[in-house]
Amino acid sequence: MRRRIFWRLFLLQAWWNFERMQSLGLTYCLEPWFKRCGLSGRERRSAMARHAGAYFNTQPYMAAFIAGMVCSLEQDIADASARDKEAKVKRLSALKTAAAGALAGIGDALFWGALRPFCAALGLVIGLLLIRRGMSAFGLGIAAVYLVIFNAPSLWVRYEGIVLGYRWGEQLPFKLKQFPVQAWIQRLRLAGAAMAAAVLVYALWDLAGQRLIGITAFAIYALILEKRPQSWTSLYGATCGLGVLAAVGRS
């Protein structure tokens, strides 16, 4: 069952629409579970219509936690008495909405704002090491390193998040608060910025032969971080731009 939901999560955004965003995709992911809950055809259609008609939008990798939580709470609804069903449905709707917003913020910052730039910088560092050793033919290895390092944790979150969300149920928001996610994000960003700075200095110093410019660029880079914090996107962008200038200068 987990595998079926896992594979369907890759199509979460296939039914994207501006009115309800990912609601149809989530409903498609949950369909195997509704069939397993022992619901009648009418009850299953009602449950699916309930999710398809509700607004839902979150970070696609973190949606696995919500899918697992929904499966757990839908099982409770299926086992509840007729008198308690309505209250449990309202509770599920509120929890799903709250979790979607919270996980969207966490997932965007972790995967898009921290892990992706970190993996790109690490791929560049490994690529420069290969070039220095005379293995420039392995340049495609840079892309391979990036894809493997970035997708490994995202695939793990998608696969294990289903089980954890199901196990934690209503406690999902509280359980996730126990993880030092903000510390992880900060460390990844600092490590990525450090590697990006190292790539810049190496490109200016060693590849382009402009040692004075390399030292100056690194000093300016450090000064900007110390005196006037910038967005990580602008810092990475400036690093890439200076790296391109170094390559042009060498040629």
Q: How does pLDDT run across 168-206, given as a tens digit for each residue?
A: 988 888 888 888 888 888 888 888 877 777 776 776 665
User: In which band, very low, low, confident or very high, does the pLDDT at 7 lie, cut at 50, 70 and 90?
Assistant: very high
Residue ending a domain, choose from 138, 161, 177: 177
Q: pTM of the predicted model, to two decimals?
A: 0.79
Any idea how long the chain is?
A: 251
User: In which band, very low, low, confident or very high, does the pLDDT at 66 lie, cut at 50, 70 and 90?
Assistant: very high
82 and 187 share a domain?
no
User: In which band, very low, low, confident or very high, does the pLDDT at 234 lie, cut at 50, 70 and 90?
Assistant: low
Distances (CA, A) of 68 to 36, 50, 65, 146: 14, 17, 5, 29
Q: In this structure, what DSSP letter does residue 58 have?
A: -
**What is the residue whose two structure tokens read 């294990």?**
160
pLDDT for residue 220 = 58
Q: What would the mean pLDDT of 60-84 be, rounded to a whole number?
A: 89
Q: Greater confidence, 141 or 177?
A: 177
What distance in Å separates the CA atoms of residue 148 and residue 146, rounded to the nearest whole number?
6
Spatial contact of 77 and 85, defined as CB atoms under 8 Å apart: yes
231 and 118 share a domain?
no
pLDDT for residue 26 = 93
157 and 67 share a domain?
yes
Range of the domain at 26: 1-177
pLDDT for residue 204 = 63
122 and 134 share a domain?
yes
> Cα–chain-centroid distance for residue 20?
21
57 and 111 share a domain?
yes
Residue ending a domain, choose from 145, 177, 209: 177
Look at 5-14, 138-147, 163-172, 230-239 and tell me which has the smallest mean pLDDT: 230-239
240 and 150 share a domain?
no
Inform me whether the pLDDT recorded for 218 exceeds 70. no
162 and 233 share a domain?
no
> The tokens of 76 are what?
């409770």
What distance in Å separates the CA atoms of residue 118 and residue 13, rounded to the nearest whole number?
25
> The tokens of 156 are what?
């793990």
Distances (CA, A) of 29 to 14, 22, 232: 11, 11, 34
Spatial contact of 99 and 69, defined as CB atoms under 8 Å apart: yes
Strands of the chain, DSSP E: none
User: In which band, very low, low, confident or very high, does the pLDDT at 64 lie, cut at 50, 70 and 90?
Assistant: very high
Q: Is the dihedral of CA 215, 121, 115, 178 positive or negative?
A: negative
Q: What would the mean pLDDT of 216-236 be, rounded to a whole number?
A: 57
Which of 5-19, 207-221, 226-240 is modeled with the greatest confidence?
A: 5-19
Compute the mean pLDDT over every residue in the chain, rounded to the nearest whole number: 80
Inform me whether the pLDDT recorded for 22 exceeds 60. yes
> The tokens of 75 are what?
């099982």
pLDDT for residue 10 = 93
Alpha helices in the chain (DSSP H): 2-9, 23-36, 41-52, 63-79, 82-107, 116-132, 140-168, 172-177, 181-202, 211-227, 232-250
pLDDT for residue 60 = 94
155 and 229 share a domain?
no
In 3D, which of 17, 191, 202, 214 has the Cα closest to residue 119?
Answer: 191
Overall domain count for the chain: 2
pLDDT for residue 152 = 92
144 and 190 share a domain?
no
89 and 205 share a domain?
no
3-state class (DSSP) for residue 68: helix
Residue ending a domain, choose from 153, 177, 201: 177
Percent of the chain with pLDDT over 90: 28
